[in-house]
Amino acid sequence: MRPGRLPACSVSEIATLDTAPMLAILSTSGHHLLVEWLPDERVWSGVSGLSDDDVAAFERSHEFDPSREVARLQALGLSQHDLVVEFGSGPGGFAIAAAGIARELIAVDPSPAMCTYLSRRATEAGIDNIEVINAGFLTYQHQRPPARFVFSKNALHHLPDFWKAEALVRIRGLLEPAGVLRLRDLVFSFQPEEADERIDAWIDSTAAEGRLPRERLINHVRSEFSTYTWLLEEMLDRAGFDISDRCYSDSGIFAHYTCRRR
Ligand SMILES: C[S@@+](CC[C@H](N)C(=O)[O-])C[C@H]1O[C@@H](n2cnc3c(N)ncnc32)[C@H](O)[C@@H]1O
């Protein structure tokens, strides 16, 4: 069964990806979109069973001002003519802000609670150019002309490395030539031999700030799939992207990339 497509501002049940054999469907680039060996990416999403209150609490604990990201995309040409696809849109801070500039924003997230929350926010704000799609990097099927911009923040680490590469190939397939991928995530820029020291330092300092419980930070390292910058950058290259701009946090935990589709 295909992932559900939620019209903006409506609520519907997530489609079950694991109840029917998958057909092999090819994108225009010839890449498989749905294959029988496709995993259920929700297993790794870390957000199953979230309630509306959980999403609101998530948003409070992950304060994020999207205006700089939107301004960055505007500097790269984002205008009222453009379609933007966001993966892992979560509560929708970026989607709401970018929809004010773009022609249309497609917000993709495998969590029904995140989708419902964003749909409601958009309705309440009188925004009608956001389409919320209950799917993920591996299951979203782009049924529009190629997009000029893709944005994703703190979501790709939910996929193991093989599937990150798959996701990047799929993103490339939905972008127009020279289209922009703006990718932010928890990606480790330290050397492997520094891992103990750097990860401990990040957990200690972030927990001391009081925004996130220590257990959540430990869980990120233990159960999610943050990778090294040198691995992710190779994946971006092999998926067909040139990195035009990269930035690593001093902690060595976060990396931001602006990439162009070759
Ligand atoms: C840490 S939150 C980040 C939300 C938002 N981008 C932000 O920065 O506030 C991670 C988001 O990625 C989503 N996610 C998890 N697995 C995903 C997948 N396979 N494809 C797309 N999004 C995924 C989660 O549902 C969640 O909304």
Q: Sign (positive/negative) of CA torsion 134, 137, 138, 140?
A: positive
Helix (H, G, I), strand (E, B) or coil at 236: helix
| Residue 235 β-bridge partners | none
Q: Is the CB of 206 under 6 A from ligand 1?
A: no
| Ramachandran area for residue 203 (φ above 0: left; ψ -120 to 50: alpha; else beta) | alpha
Q: Is the pLDDT confidence value at 109 over 80?
A: yes
- For residue 237, the Cα-to-chain-centroid distance in whole angstroms is 18
Tens digits of per-residue pLDDT, 171-206?
999 999 999 999 999 999 999 999 999 999 999 999
Mean pLDDT of 97-112: 98
* Digit-coded pLDDT (tens) for 8-22: 433 333 333 333 334
Protein residue with least CA distance to atom 4, ligand 1: 90
Task: Select 4-191+226-261's CATH number: 3.40.50.150, 3.20.20.120, 3.30.70.2700, 3.30.1330.60.
Answer: 3.40.50.150
User: Which mutation among 64, 111, 225 tests ligand 1's pocket best, with the greatest number of atoms within 8 A of CB?
Assistant: 111
